[in-house]
Amino acid sequence: MKIAIALPMYSDAPALAAVSWIGLDRALTAAGHDVAWKVRIGDGIIQRARNRVCGAIATGLGDLDELDVVLWLDADTVVAEPEAVQRMLETLHTTDGIEFVAAASRLKRPGMQFSASPILPLQPHDEHDRLIEVTGVGASCMAWSGQLFQHLVGEAAWFKTDEGDAPRIWREGLAELVDDDGEPIPGYCRIKGEDLTLCDDLRGMGITLWCDMAVPLGHVGAFNFAGTFADFREQLEAMSDASQGPG
């Protein structure tokens, strides 16, 4: 396969993540794949970095008809098992009707869950070693077919960036806040990240979104709290107790 690996960045990347990318590159190359990395910095705006990567792939890889897969990695994504990512890409490339597949990724704040889907009863510790359909998923490890990429940067490019003719695929949106029963709270909304906004746009185009629950990932950050919100509170309390010293 001809694979473009898209790596948008704020400025730099954690060493642990960078080392894991080297392992991924070696695994894909050893398997005979043609791998090209495209890295762009977004001057502190992540959707700008993502759009710049789109432009770099569209203009810097020659004939896009030969492009099989575009793999998106976030700058803080640790690829724990390159072979699992390779299997995910091969599934995308060889399975008819699949144009989008992503690995399950967790958020770095309370209320973590595997995906944005309100229709799937997933909890942070659930294990599903299979593909599942979702309504949205984070961009930590997200793959598009080459055909989908061409469509997005071509006739489906509904925005333009400050990069001239570079297509603006990624944008932020708004989402309503909901109560415990899932009902919208009038007058309140929040920023919806560019990854979930993209998922909304893709589903609006008729693209089915798939998540491969068998791909393990790491997520590097200053503070990473795993598990449920109750776990998060326990960790905060433990840190608070430790900071006060004995007694």
- Break the chain into its structural domains and give their ranges: 2-243
What is the C-alpha to C-alpha distance for residues 58 and 184, in angstroms, rounded to an integer? 39
Please answer whether residues 136 and 115 qualify as being in contact, where contact means their C-beta atoms are separated by less than 8 angstroms.
yes
Please answer whether residues 100 and 209 qualify as being in contact, where contact means their C-beta atoms are separated by less than 8 angstroms.
yes
Question: Looking at residue 237, what is its pLDDT?
Answer: 54
SS3 178: strand
Scored b (16 or more CB within 10 A) or e, 119-135 reads: ebebebeeeeeebbebe
Please answer whether residues 51 and 169 qualify as being in contact, where contact means their C-beta atoms are separated by less than 8 angstroms.
yes
SS3 145: strand
How far CA 190 is from CA of 5, 34, 141, 175, 219, in Å, comes to 30, 41, 24, 5, 23
How far CA 199 is from CA of 35, 137, 142, 173, 208, in Å, comes to 25, 7, 11, 11, 9
Please answer whether residues 216 and 80 qualify as being in contact, where contact means their C-beta atoms are separated by less than 8 angstroms.
yes
Burial (CB count within 10 angstroms: exposed 0-12, middle 13-18, buried 19+), residue 150: middle
Q: Could you list the pLDDT tens digit for every one of the 247 residues in the chain?
A: 999 999 988 777 778 888 889 999 999 999 999 999 988 877 767 778 888 888 888 888 888 899 999 999 988 888 888 998 999 999 999 999 999 999 986 544 444 444 443 434 445 445 567 788 888 888 889 999 999 998 888 765 554 444 444 556 766 665 666 666 767 666 655 666 788 888 888 998 899 999 988 887 776 654 444 444 444 444 445 544 444 444 3
Using only C-alpha atoms, the chain has a radius of gyration, in whole angstroms, of 19
Question: Looking at residue 168, what is its pLDDT?
Answer: 62
Please, what CATH class does the domain formed by 2-243 belong to? alpha beta
Question: Which residue, 137, 118, 108, 111, is CA-closest to 197?
Answer: 137
CA torsion sign for 111, 117, 118, 123 is: negative
Question: Looking at residue 64, what is its pLDDT?
Answer: 86
Instruction: Give the DSSP letter of residue 102.
Output: E
198: CB partners within 8 A, 6+ apart: 139, 169, 170, 171
The model's pTM: 0.74
